[in-house]
A and B are shown apart, each in its own frame.
Chain A
Amino acid sequence: MSITSDIIRGHTEAIILSHLTEHDSYGYQINQSIQSKTNNEYELKEATLYSAFRRLEQNGCINSYWGDETTGARRRYYSITPEGRVYLARCRADWEAAKTLIDKLI
C-alpha cells in the first residue's frame, strides 16, 4: 500500500486537475471524490493537497476564489485554467508512456 501511495503521490497535481475538469471544487470535496473513486483505498494528506494547490496556482494552472456560502465556513474554490488543461494533457501522455514501458519491463 505504501509503495502504491508513493506512486500516486507523484501524480497529485494531475489528479487534482483532472477532478477540476469536471467542475470547480474545494479541498475537502476533491479528497472525498478521490476516496469514493478508489473505494476508500486512497486519501490524500491535506499537506500534500495544499502543497499541490500552491504549486499549481503559482504555475497558473488553477485559479481560486471564495465561495458564497451563507451558512457555515466559507470554502475556497479552485478552477482549472487553459494552461492547466495543457499541463493535464501532458501529464496524461507521460503516464500512458510510463505505463507502456513498465508493462514491458515487469
Chain B
Amino acid sequence: MELKIRQYIERAFADVPKTAKNNELKESLYSDLIEKYQDLLGRGKTEEEACGEVIAGIGDLSELTQGLIREAEQQHVETVQERRRSALFVSIAVGMYILSPLAFMIFDELFHKGFLAICAFFVMVAVATGLLIYYNMTKPAWKRQQEERDDVERWLPEGDRQVYGAVSGALWVLTVAVYMLISFNYGNWHISWVIFLIAAAIQMIIRAVFATKSHH
C-alpha cells in the first residue's frame, strides 16, 4: 500500500525536472503521507481504507507541479542567456589581454612612439579588467549563489581555505610577472602566452592536492 502512495506521487511529479530541490519537496511530501498512513493504521483502519484516505486527502497537486515546471523553464532560459553573456564578456576581455602586447609593439615598432605604446598597452588592460569587473557586478544573484556552492573553497576547512586562496593568488600574480619578463626580454610573444596554460594546469594540480588532503 505504501508502494501505491509512492506510485501516486511519482506519477504526479513525472513531468517535474528532477533537481535536488524538487526531489527534496517530493520526498518531504511523501514522508508526510507515509506518517499519516501509519497513523490511520494505528487507529484501526485497514490498509485499503488508510491508503484511500491518504490519497483522497492529497488534493490537486497540479498547481504545485505546474509551478515547479514553469520555474525550471524560466531558469533554463535565464541560464542560456546568462551563458551567452558571460562568454561574450570573458572572451572579449581575454582577447584584449592577449592582444595588449601586440598593441604595444605596433605603436613601438611601426610608429616609434614609445610613450603612446605604453599608453595603448595599459588602456587595453584597463578596459579588459573593467569589462570583467562590470560583468561580475551585474551577474544575477542566483548565478552567484550557484558558483559559491560549486566553489572548491566552500568545502575546505577554514585554515585550508585561506592557504588555498593565498597560493592561487600568488600563482597568478607570478604568472603575469613571468609572462611580462620573458616576453619583453626575448620578444617571443608568439609563444610566451603558453605560460597561462601552464599556470591553469598548476592551478588544477593545487586544487587536486587540497581536495585529497581534505578527504583524509
Task: Spell out A's residues near B (CB within 8 Å).
Answer: 26-28, 31, 43, 45-48, 50-51, 53-54, 64, 72-76
Contacts and interface: CB of A to CB of B under 8 A. Distances in A.
Contacts of A46: 29, 32-33, 57-59, 61
Across the A-B interface, the 4 shortest Cβ-Cβ residue pairs? A45-B59, A76-B28, A47-B59, A73-B31
Given A51-B64, A51-B67, A73 B34 contact: yes
Contacts of B151: none
Contacts of A74: 27, 31
22 contacts: A26-B28, A27-B32, A28-B32, A28-B35, A31-B32, A31-B36, A43-B57, A45-B57, A45-B59, A46-B29, A46-B32, A47-B58, A47-B63, A51-B63, A51-B64, A54-B67, A64-B28, A73-B34, A75-B31, A75-B32, A75-B35, A76-B28
Contacts, number: 58
Interface of B: 24-25, 27-36, 57-61, 63-64, 67-68
B interface secondary structure, majority: helix
B35 A50 contact: no
Given A46-B32, A73-B30, A76-B28, 20 more contacts: A26-B28, A28-B32, A31-B32, A31-B36, A47-B61, A48-B59, A50-B25, A50-B29, A50-B61, A50-B64, A51-B63, A51-B64, A54-B64, A72-B35, A73-B35, A75-B32, A75-B35, A76-B24, A76-B27, A76-B31
A27 B36 CA distance: 10
Contacts of A47: 58-61, 63-64
Given A50-B25, A51-B64, A54-B64, A26 B59 contact: no
B34 to A, nearest CB: 6
Contacts of B67: 51, 54
Q: Which of B60, B64, B67 has the most CB of A within 10 A?
A: B64
B5 to A, nearest CB: 11
A51 B25 CA distance: 10
B57 A27 contact: no
B32 A26 contact: yes
A54 B63 CA distance: 11
Contacts of B58: 45-47
Contact of A54 (B25, B32, B35, B36): B25
A41 to B, nearest CB: 15
